[in-house]
Structure 1
Amino acid sequence: MSPLLSEIRSNAVLWLLLFVPVVFLVRFFDPEAHTLLFVLSVLAILPLATLLSAATEAVASKTGDSVGGLLNATLGNLTELVIALTALHAGQYTLVKASIAGAIVANTLFMLGVSFLLGGLKYHVQVYNRESARLQTSLLLLATIAMVTPSMVSHVDALDTSAFTQQLSVGLSVILVGTYAMGLLFSLRSHRELFAGTAHAEAGEETWPMGLALATLAGVTVLVALVSEVFVESVQQAAATLGMTPAFVGFVVVALVGGSAEMASAFSGARKNRLDLSVGIALGAAAQIALFVAPMMVFLSYVIGPAPMDLLFWPGAVSMVLIATITASLLTSGGRSAWFVGVLLIMVYVIFAMTIYLLPPPV
């Protein structure tokens, strides 16, 4: 346990772990304090994300950055999945769709951009595996096509367009999940030599035992899921108090808070010149959300939702996801990065966030 305790003592952010029990105590004694619970849940998720980052880096040092990036993206996306499931059960489909689109955009633009910026401020030029980035952006492009298609046919002059859109969404979801599974097989098994990251630990850096790292990953993931439930229960009332719409909450607030675990690892990896890990987390998380989380919401809406959910997103969200995918594809095609590349990605994200805040889509 010494590496874990040492990490907590040396990192001031981890001292915020005290807010984790506070969240549950306030929820028990005053469940109607929505704004307070919202603030406390954010403060609790941040140190949990940092601890998740440290444990994931310990695993990545032994498995390689590509596998480590996939592992972190998978565990980090659990937060978005829990938030989406809670909103799905409550019938808040606008929040679900906004959080899905927002998470894709935040990962491909904000997370990747800040990683490039932080790494570029420390290193003149950074190099990463462009084959891995190309695969992830190709998967994202396929998912974007699946999101565009229902929007293209939603106004077709038919007797029952809604039924057709629902059937199409189920079929597209099957295709997306199947493609994602084949993508994992391609990158981790049949052609894994093309996507090999660097397996290393920095000189003088204390490494965690694999058992401790995996146990920490599991425990922190459970805590993140529990705190996320409190977050999603309070975010709507808190947003109304602060004058934010459900679309903005899902697209920006939920996406950034829900993705804080992956962001902590991606930013840390970039500062340590491990850009394969950062790019793998950012694009891998976006691909998982688009090809796995979104289809699962469609399937699970038949089980836990008040009505079936489709993949019909509002045109603004589809446009932003498409632009984000194309931008990330263009800027990662060379396999090299500098700080200004990160600035360009961040500015695109700021434009989108400002637009949806000032002129939210119809809900």
Structure 2
Amino acid sequence: MDISRRQLHLVSADAARRSGVDGADQEGNLTLSTSLRSPRLSSRSRASGHLEEPLLDPEAAAEAGESPAGNGALPPHQPPRGAHNSERARRHWRFAASHVSKLMPDNFANSDSDTASILSERRLARRGGDRSRDAIAQTFISTLAGTLGTGTVLQNQSIAMEHHPGVWSPGSDARCIGLMLVSSYINVLLACIPVGILAGALGWSPTLVFIMNFLALVPLALLLGETTEDLAVRFGDTVGGLLNATFGNVVELILSIAALRKGLYTVVATSLIGSILSNLLLVLGMCFLFGGLRFQQQRFSPLANKVGSSLLFVACIGIIIPTMAKRIYGSEVMTDAAVINLSHAIAILLMFVYFCYLTFQLKTHSDLFASGESEDNPALSLSGALAFLSAITVIVAVCSEFLTGAIEAVSEKFNINPSFLGLIVLPIAGNACEHITAVFVAFKNKMDLAIGVAVGSSIQIALFAIPFTVLAGWVMGTTFTLDFDVFSVLMLTVAVILAYFVSSDGSSNWLLGLQLIITYVLIAAVFFLEREPKHRSGGH
């Protein structure tokens, strides 16, 4: 472990000055101490190339007569003088030794997964509306220090949080992309990309094509989210919100368009509804369940949850109207042309509602979604981020094309309803990493962030992805309407109502989570057992 000597001297000087240990004792305890400060970049430190280091021990800082965020560590060559054996000295050295243990290699056996979790939390903070990422950023630096060595982090600040100019910077971009690629064990699935593409191009077994391309989409979705977040940080809240709206569900959008081109209207409709159901029932339920197993009761903001639920109700109404109008009034009154025109009008209105929601979230009522201001800087250069995002998007499009092309063959071979593949299987590809991280943050009692992810992702699908798919079909000349299967729409409405009732009071427990999960399993069982769809959703 490469812990810089400057860090060791700083903590020794700090602890010695606050406890009265002289230079001999300080030098003798160098091997037992590490930095009591967590690196943090400021405008001045970025300009000078050094890190400011705020104190992490408020009690010790108060006794020393300085604020926890202040500086003022004595240089290593100016050790303070004082008594050796005071209780205060022993307490400070114990505090220093405890921080050394946090940087030991055996505590970082799972450092890759820790880093991945932190990267994902950073993305989730914006997706869920919580933009207070200071603590996450500091933990990210600390994890890097434990994984790469403090000296490595200090010498390569571009890997962490340093601001890059908007020009091509191959060296630092390559290091940052390399860090993203090794930051999660899930990225091992990137090896499925060449196999899946080759299998699809050469016409190998449809089952192999489906499985390989499905697995390839899981890490690609993770990399897309991190790159999108990097661009969102650069452009600010407004443009960043639009970027997250566009690329936050890009895997679902590309899958839907690829299936739409092949005429798989039922798969398109069920995959979009399935994404909402998995967020509202499965993910939210797992957050409540695992968080409730650790904490008897967890609290979160009921007002933000109320806003999200009302938006989902609006989306449900927009889907119910064309679905039920034709069945109530008959095809003579509600002709196919009328349903198509009605769907286009509703899609435009739903997207308008979504952009109004972005204004509400990011501008007029941002205090409901943010707990404080944060300082964050992009890790990639602008050119590097755009190039990496474009490359990933192209690969996602290719994998999605082969995946959707194998759906019918897999459905026939294993006698599985295509609606089940769309409702249950396909949403996993685009949301698996995010869902896992949402459960982890709920286990850490960060319920506002976890619920923001589940409800926020549902809003993006309902008010952006579904209308976008309808309008994309209009442009492509492939008609896709909001005339969905009645049972699917009914289950969507039930899920929205149930999710609202279990979270309306701003508290949760494990039993509420279990109810949501059981509801999701019951819905999945219906689609699994149904062999022939009764209605071809969305197609005319």
TM-score, structure 1 as length reference: 0.84
Match of 2:353 in 1: 179
Displacement after TM superposition at 1:261 (Å): 4.5
Tell me if structure 2 keeps the 8 A contact 1:113–1:341. yes
1:25 counterpart (161, 177, 198):
198
Partner amino acid, structure 2, of 1:234: A
Partner amino acid, structure 1, of 2:511: F
Q: In 2 relative to 1, CA 125–208 (structure 1 residues): closer, same or farther, beyond 3 Å?
A: farther
SS state of the match for residue 310, structure 1? coil
Q: In 2 relative to 1, CA 119–325 (structure 1 residues): closer, same or farther, beyond 3 Å?
A: same
Give a deviation string over 1:67-98, Cα, whole Å, max 9, x none.
99997665341111111111112222122111
1:359 paired to 2:530: yes
Tell me if structure 1 keeps the 8 A contact 2:308–2:456. yes
Match of 2:453 in 1: 281
Q: How many pairs does the alignment contain?
A: 356
Whole-Å separation in 2 of the counterparts to 1:104 and 1:317? 11
Displacement after TM superposition at 1:177 (Å): 1.2
Match of 2:122 in 1: none
Whole-Å separation in 2 of the counterparts to 1:24 and 1:160? 47
1:127 paired to 2:299: yes
Whole-Å separation in 2 of the counterparts to 1:265 and 1:64? 24
Partner amino acid, structure 2, of 1:27: G
Give a deviation string over 1:341-362, Cα, whole Å, max 9, x none.
2221111100100011113541
Tell me if structure 1 keeps the 8 A contact 2:196–2:208. no
Tell me if structure 2 keeps the 8 A contact 1:91–1:305. no
Identify unmatched segments of 5+ residues in structure 2: 1-158, 160-174, 536-540
SS state of the match for residue 259, structure 1? helix
Whole-Å separation in 2 of the counterparts to 1:221 and 1:259? 16
Displacement after TM superposition at 1:35 (Å): 0.6
1:349 paired to 2:520: yes
Displacement after TM superposition at 1:329 (Å): 0.9
Displacement after TM superposition at 1:145 (Å): 1.0
1:311 paired to 2:485: no
1:139 counterpart (311, 314, 322):
311
Give a deviation string over 1:309-334, Cα, whole Å, max 9, x none.
22111110111000000011112212
Give a deviation string over 1:90-110, Cα, whole Å, max 9, x none.
222122111122122112111
Whole-Å separation in 1 of the counterparts to 2:392 and 2:304? 28
Identify unmatched segments of 5+ residues in structure 1: 202-206
1:148 paired to 2:317: no
Whole-Å separation in 2 of the counterparts to 1:125 and 1:199? 28
Partner amino acid, structure 1, of 2:403: F
Q: In 2 relative to 1, CA 64–352 (structure 1 residues): closer, same or farther, beyond 3 Å?
A: farther
Give a deviation string over 1:250-277, Cα, whole Å, max 9, x none.
1222223233243244234334433333
Q: In 2 relative to 1, CA 70–104 (structure 1 residues): closer, same or farther, beyond 3 Å?
A: farther
Give a deviation string over 1:124-149, Cα, whole Å, max 9, x none.
43333322222111111011111111
Match of 1:12 in 2: 185
Whole-Å separation in 2 of the counterparts to 1:345 and 1:233? 33
Match of 1:204 in 2: none
Relative contact order higher in (CA < 8 Å, ≥ 6 apart): 1
Whole-Å separation in 2 of the counterparts to 1:260 and 1:72? 17
Tell me if structure 1 keeps the 8 A contact 2:221–2:430. no
Larger-gyration structure (1/2): 2
1:333 counterpart (487, 504, 516):
504
Matches within 5 A, 1:1-363: 1=159, 5=178, 8-9=181-182, 11-28=184-201, 30-51=202-223, 74-155=246-327, 156-157=329-330, 159-162=332-335, 163-197=337-371, 210-211=379-380, 215=385, 220=392, 222-306=394-478, 308-359=479-530, 361-363=533-535
Higher mean alpha-carbon deviation, 70-79 vs 246-255, is at 70-79
Tell me if structure 2 keeps the 8 A contact 1:131–1:195. no
Whole-Å separation in 2 of the counterparts to 1:64 and 1:340? 39
Partner amino acid, structure 2, of 1:286: S
Match of 2:14 in 1: none
Displacement after TM superposition at 1:9 (Å): 4.5
Q: In 2 relative to 1, CA 89–114 (structure 1 residues): closer, same or farther, beyond 3 Å?
A: same
Q: In 2 relative to 1, CA 296–58 (structure 1 residues): closer, same or farther, beyond 3 Å?
A: closer
Higher mean alpha-carbon deviation, 1-10 vs 316-325, is at 1-10
Give a deviation string over 1:152-196, Cα, whole Å, max 9, x none.
221314635222222222221122111111111111111111221
Tell me if structure 2 keeps the 8 A contact 1:73–1:284. no
SS state of the match for residue 170, structure 1? helix
SS state of the match for residue 313, structure 1? coil
SS state of the match for residue 187, structure 1? helix
Partner amino acid, structure 2, of 1:343: L
Q: In 2 relative to 1, CA 176–276 (structure 1 residues): closer, same or farther, beyond 3 Å?
A: same
Displacement after TM superposition at 1:224 (Å): 3.7
Higher mean alpha-carbon deviation, 264-273 vs 54-63, is at 54-63
SS state of the match for residue 344, structure 1? helix
Q: In 2 relative to 1, CA 275–57 (structure 1 residues): closer, same or farther, beyond 3 Å?
A: farther
Tell me if structure 1 keeps the 8 A contact 2:262–2:405. no
